[in-house]
Amino acid sequence: MSEYAELYTIGQVARRVGVPARTIRFWCDAGILAPTDRSAGGYRRYDATAVARLDMVRTLRDLGLSLDEIRAVLRGRTTVAELASAHAAALDAQIRVLRLRRAVLRTVAARGSDIEEAKLMTDLARLSAQERQQIIDEFVDRTFEGIAPEGPALSIARGMRAMPAKLPDDPSAEQVDAWIELAGLVADEGFQHRAREMVLAGATASVPPWGADLAAVLEHAGRALADGIDPVSPEARAVLDQIIPPGTPAAERERIHAVLETFTDERVERYWELAGILNGRPPFTRTVPTFQWVIAALRAHP
């Protein structure tokens, strides 16, 4: 008898294919493949072609195909390539979920969160892109309500709405944490009020609204802050004179002071920072500490 005519017992086939004999019995009973023959005692026997076919079934099962899908392939109703494409897409979705869970777990561990905060983070992180965008849109709508959507206000509103279509396939703990923090920020009524206050003031203010050169503020006040100059010290007065001309009337200095206080807010700057993290923008230099230094210096040197 030639090699190709040789028949194998189910035990021999199981060893060749690398699955238990009971699995082969199950596949055959499910209609995947009938035995080539049966012995006089009724035992199943398989030829080389059947063994090769069972080996292909094992490979397809390892790739995650169901028995119904394998049966469709064997009967020519679909192709392995078509099923592979569908399964690859499904695995991509599962991988994204697993990566998101991993990022949330890292964030929970880093923050030392309790079970309530962990649940909140998980719920927020799994929101769809549309649901996340709706949260931001509702915040922006409340902030700009009644303000003509034109000029600087329009540009700011567009910037505040800009959110990525989805979290990255492999989000970092920083990105998950950023979305969670941002969602909490826009839900805070105090922050909503503060953001609207700034938008309302900016809608009618001149540019720059504080009446001073932005580059000069960042250069001179920024250096003073970095050098550790106390804003109430005499040295601070000299720095202020480089930003606001010494002959500026007291009333104008008071106006600049008030305007700076209106437009300087750590949480609003944090909003832009978080949006930048989510959108993959390069980190920007925080300017609020510099303006806070100027505000303190103006308070000390009216």
Q: Would you say residue 54 has pLDDT above 60?
A: yes
Which DSSP string do the residues of the chain spell out, in sequence order? Answer: --GGG--EEHHHHHHHHTS-HHHHHHHHHTTS---SEE-TTS-EEE-HHHHHHHHHHHHHHHTT--HHHHHHHHTTSS-HHHHHHHHHHHHHHHHHHHHHHHHHHHHHHHHT--HHHHHHHHHHHT--HHHHHHHHHHHHHHHTTTS-S-HHHHHHHHHHH---SS--SS--HHHHHHHHHHHHHHH-HHHHHHHHHHHHHHHH--SSTTSS-HHHIIIIIHHHHHTT--TTSHHHHHHHHHHS-TT--HHHHHHHHHHHHHH--HHHHHHHHHHHHHTTPPP----HHHHHHHHHHHHH--
Whole-angstrom Cα distance, residue 59 to residue 95? Answer: 21
- pLDDT value at residue 50: 85
Q: How confident is the model at residue 1 (pLDDT cuts 50, 70, 90)?
A: very low
Query: Would you kindly state where each structural domain of the chain is located, as residue ranges?
Result: 3-78, 117-200, 208-300
pLDDT in tens, 231-262: 999 999 999 888 888 888 888 888 888 888 88
CB atoms within 10 A of CB 88: 11
pLDDT in tens, 72-111: 888 888 887 887 787 777 777 677 667 767 777 777 777 7
Q: Which two tokens stand for residue 267?
A: 């949480």
The listed range with the strongest mean pLDDT (129-138, 212-221, 245-254, 288-297) is: 288-297
- pLDDT value at residue 33: 82
Is the distance from CB of 267 to CB of 194 less than 8 angstroms?
A: yes
CATH classification (class only), 3-78: mainly alpha
Taking CA 259 as the corner, what is the angle to CA 255 and CA 261, rounded to the nearest 5 degrees? 120
- pLDDT value at residue 155: 66
Supply the mean pLDDT for the chain.
80
Whole-angstrom Cα distance, residue 200 to residue 143? Answer: 9
Q: Would you say residue 134 has pLDDT above 80?
A: yes
Q: Would you say residue 270 has pLDDT above 80?
A: yes
CA distances from 294 to 216, 255, 276 (A): 11, 13, 26
- pLDDT value at residue 128: 67
Q: What percent of the chain has pLDDT over 90?
A: 11
pLDDT in tens, 3-51: 446 888 889 988 988 999 999 889 888 888 888 888 877 888 888 888 8
- pLDDT value at residue 5: 64
Q: How confident is the model at residue 203 (pLDDT cuts 50, 70, 90)?
A: low
Supply φ then ψ for residue 78, to 5 degrees.
-155, 175
Q: Would you say residue 65 has pLDDT above 80?
A: yes
Q: Would you say residue 127 has pLDDT above 80?
A: no
CA nearest 243: which of 206, 209, 216?
A: 216
CA nearest 291: which of 194, 199, 216, 217?
A: 217
pLDDT in tens, 144-192: 787 765 655 566 777 777 766 555 556 677 777 788 888 888 888 898 8
